[in-house]
Chain A
Amino acid sequence: MSTKNENWLYTISANQKLINFNLKEVWNYRDLLFLFVKRNVITVYKQTVLGPLWYFIQPLFTSVIFTLIFNNMASIPTGDGVPSFLFNLAGITSWNYFKECLTGTSDTFAQNQGIFGKVYFPRVIVPLSTVITNLFKFGIQLLVFVGFYIYYAFFSDQGSNVAPTKAIIFLPILVILMGLLGLGLGMIISSMTTKYRDLKVLVAFGVQLLMYGSAVMYPLSYFKQKLPDLSWAVEYNPMTVIIEAFRYMTMGVGDYSLLKMIYAIIISVILFLLGLVIFNKTEKSFIDTI
C-alpha cells in the first residue's frame, strides 16, 4: 500500500516499543511545563487568608508536635548538642519534599483525565511540573529551616554544636534524588491506579507508614540500637539514607557514607526509569480504562 518511500513525520499505531521516551517532544513543550508550574504556584492558595504562610505553618507545627512527643515525652536522643526541634525540622523538611512529589504525582491520570481525554501533549509534563512546583515549596521550607538553624547556631547556647560538614556541597544532588524517588514512585502508582483504584487507598496510609520507616523523627543509630533485628528495613530504605545524609550535611549528625549515597542514587534512578517506562506505556490508552 505504501511502497513509495514517503517520509512520514510520525505514526500512530497499536504497537509500542517498551522504551520510547521522546525527550525532544518534551523539550518542545517546555513552555507548557513552566505554565503548569506557574498555574500550580499561583492557584494553590488563591482565596486563602494566610496564603503562602501555610508553607511555613505546616512543617513548624509538625516539628513542635514531634519534639514534644518523641523527644520530650519518649526521650529519643537526637545527638550531642543538636536541638531536637532542629533535628525534627530537618527530617520533616526533606521528608515533605519527597512526600509531596509522591502524592502529587500519584494521581496524575485521575486528576487530569479531563485534559488528557481531549488533547495530546507528552503526559510526563504534568508530573514533572508537580515536582518543580514542589521545589518552590521546598525552597521556602528550607528557608525556615535555615532561619532556625541560624538562631540555634548563633543566638542560643542550646545548639552550639551544630555545624555543616563539607559534604553540604552535595545537597543539590540530595534534592534531585528526593524528587526522582518521589516522581518515580508517583508515576508507577498513577499508572496503576488508572485501572485498579485500590492503590489510591494504599498510598494515603502507605506514605504515613513509610514516614515512620524513614528515620524522620529519630536517628538511624538509635533505631539500630533499640531494634537491631528490624534495622535493615529502615537502613536500606533510600529515604532513610537521604534524610540521614541531609542531617549529616547540615548539622554533622547522622549516618553518611559514599557507598550508601551510591546505593540511594542507584535505587532512585532505577525507580525513576521504571516509572517512566510504565507511565509511557499507560499514557497511550489510559483514557479507555480510567
Chain B
Amino acid sequence: MGKEIILKTENISKQYRLGVVGTGTIGHDLNRWWYKIRGKEDPYLKVGDSNDRSTNGYSDYVWALQDISFDVEQGEVLGVIGKNGAGKSTLLKILSKVTTPTTGEIKTKGRIASLLEVGTGFHPEMTGKENIFLNGAILGMTKKEIQYKLDEIIEFSGCRRYIDTPVKRYSSGMTVRLAFAVAAHLDPDILVIDEVLAVGDAEFQNKAIGKMQEISGTNGRTVLFVSHNMAAIKTLCTKAIVLEHGKVKFKGTADEAVDFYLKNEITSSGEHYSHETSEKSSDILGVSILDSENKLCSVFAFNHKIYLKIKIRVSEKHLPVSVLSVRVIDQFERPIFTSEINLKDYINSVGLHSFNIELPYKTLTPNDYRIHAVFHIPNQELISNLESVVSFNIEETGSELYKYAGLDYGCVVLDCKWNKI
C-alpha cells in the first residue's frame, strides 16, 4: 500500500426502529435512559434482525448496516454496489454526517462533501445566480470560492440566459443542470456521490460523466460513488464494495465487484415459477431463468447468455395439436418478440417434458423484462396462460450504447450495415 489512507471506517453499524413513533416509544426511551445512567449497554442493541425487507422479522429493530469496515486511499474512486435496501444510502448518510452510526466509527483526514441529491436547498423564488450561491454554501463552499468559480459554473450549466430569472421559471432539466454545475465545482478532499448521474438528457449525462472522470482522474480526488449503473461503476471506479443486507459481501476491483454482484444477485422471486402439484392432464409445471452455468439467475450482464427452462405435462389429447410459446415483454408492457414450437415436432410421448430455450445473445438492451409462457391450441383452447411468470433484468455493463443509459433508445440492439456512399 503505497498510498495514504484518507478515510477509514471501522465496524460501522446502524440500527433502525421499525414501525411508528407513538406512545410506546417513550417507554423504550425511558428504559434506554435508565440503562444508560447505570452505565449499562443499551438493551435494544442486542436485538435486531438483519435487514431483509421481504421476510417477517422477529424484532422491531433492524440493522440497516452491520460491521462495515473498509479503507479508502487517497485518490481512489470507490464504488458501492447493492440492491435496493442493501444499506447503500444509509452508509452514505453516515459518511456525510447526516446521521450517526449506532456503533463504530469513521475517521477521515479530509473534508467530506456529499452529493446525495442535486439542488439541495434551491429556493424557487430566487434567481439562478442567487441559488448558485445558496446551494454552494450549503454544500460547504465559501462565498469567495463561489464568486471565483461563478463564470465556470454558469458556463457548465448552460443556463446563462436564465441566470437572473427565478428558478421556478426553469424547466426541470435546467434546474438539474444548474444544480449539478454547482456540485461539479465543489472542491473537497473526499466527494460522496449518490446516483446523481441519473438525471438530465443524454448530452448532459455525458458531460456529467466526463466531469466525474475529470474530478477523479485528473484532479486525483477521492470519490465514493453509489450507483445502480454498472457501466458507470466500471468506467469511473477503481475499486468497489458490494453490500447485501447491510453487510459487506465483497471488496475488490470495480470489475470483480460488478461480476460478483451480477452472479450473486439472487432475488427471492422472479427467476423461478413452479406448479408441480397441478392436477390438470396438460399444464406448465415450471418456468425458470438460468445462466450459462445452468443456475437460477435473474440479473444478467449485457453480454451474458440467458436460458429459459420450461417443464410441462402433456396429455394424449393435446400432444398432436398444441403449441408452447414464450413471449418477452419489457417494462413498458411492449412485447419484444414471441417464440413458439409445435409440440409434436419435438416430442412423441405423453407425460413430463422439459425444454431449454436460449434467448438471443447480446440483443436485448439493458432493462427489466418479463416472460409470458403460454400453452395452447391456437384459436381453440388456452391450456395454460402464465402472464409475467418470471422476470429478469439485464444490467448495463458497457454495451455500445451505455452512454444513453436510462433513456429509451429501443429494446433490442441489432447490427446494421452502414455503408458510406
Residues of A participating in the B interface, judged by any CB pair closer than 8 Å: 1-2, 6-14, 16, 28-29, 31-32, 35-36, 38-39, 42-43, 46-47, 114-121, 195-196, 284-285, 287-289
Contacts and interface: CB of A to CB of B under 8 A. Distances in A.
Given A43-B123, A119-B98, A289-B21, A2 B107 contact: yes
Contacts of B120: 114-115, 118-119
A285 B121 contact: no
A285 B99 contact: yes
A12 B138 contact: no
Given A2-B107, A13-B105, A14-B104, A115 B21 contact: no
B137 A284 contact: no
A38 B106 CA distance: 35
Contacts of A285: 99-100
Given A42-B125, A43-B126, 19 more contacts: A1-B10, A7-B109, A9-B111, A11-B105, A11-B108, A12-B105, A13-B106, A14-B101, A14-B102, A28-B142, A29-B140, A31-B137, A35-B134, A39-B130, A42-B126, A118-B120, A120-B96, A195-B25, A196-B21
A216 to B, nearest CB: 33
Contacts of B207: none
A287 B98 contact: yes
22 contacts: A7-B109, A8-B107, A8-B108, A10-B108, A12-B97, A13-B106, A14-B103, A14-B105, A29-B137, A31-B142, A32-B138, A35-B133, A39-B126, A39-B130, A116-B98, A117-B93, A118-B116, A119-B116, A119-B139, A195-B29, A287-B99, A289-B21
Contacts of B94: 12
B306 to A, nearest CB: 38
Interface in B5-49: 8, 10, 16-17, 21, 25-26, 29
Nearest to B145: A31
Nearest to B144: A31
Interface of B: 8, 10, 16-17, 21, 25-26, 29, 93-111, 114, 116-117, 120-121, 123, 125-126, 130, 133-134, 137-140, 142-143
A7 B107 CA distance: 9
Contact of A121 (B104, B116, B138): B138
Contacts of B99: 284-285, 287-288
A47 B106 CA distance: 46
B103 A119 contact: no
User: Which of B121, B133, B143 has its CB near the most chain A CB atoms (within 10 A)?
Assistant: B121
Contact of A118 (B10, B110, B117): B117
Contacts of A38: 130
Q: Sorted from nearest, which 7 A-B pairs have the closest CB atoms?
A: A13-B105, A120-B97, A32-B137, A31-B143, A8-B107, A12-B106, A118-B116
Contacts of B109: 6-9
B104 to A, nearest CB: 7
B412 to A, nearest CB: 38
A39 B167 CA distance: 13
A97 to B, nearest CB: 24
B110 A9 contact: yes
Contact of B93 (A1, A9, A11, A287): A287
Nearest to A194: B21
The residue in A1, A39, A114, A120 that gathers the most chain B C-beta atoms within 10 A of its C-beta is A120
Given A8-B107, A115-B121, A289-B21, A35 B137 contact: yes
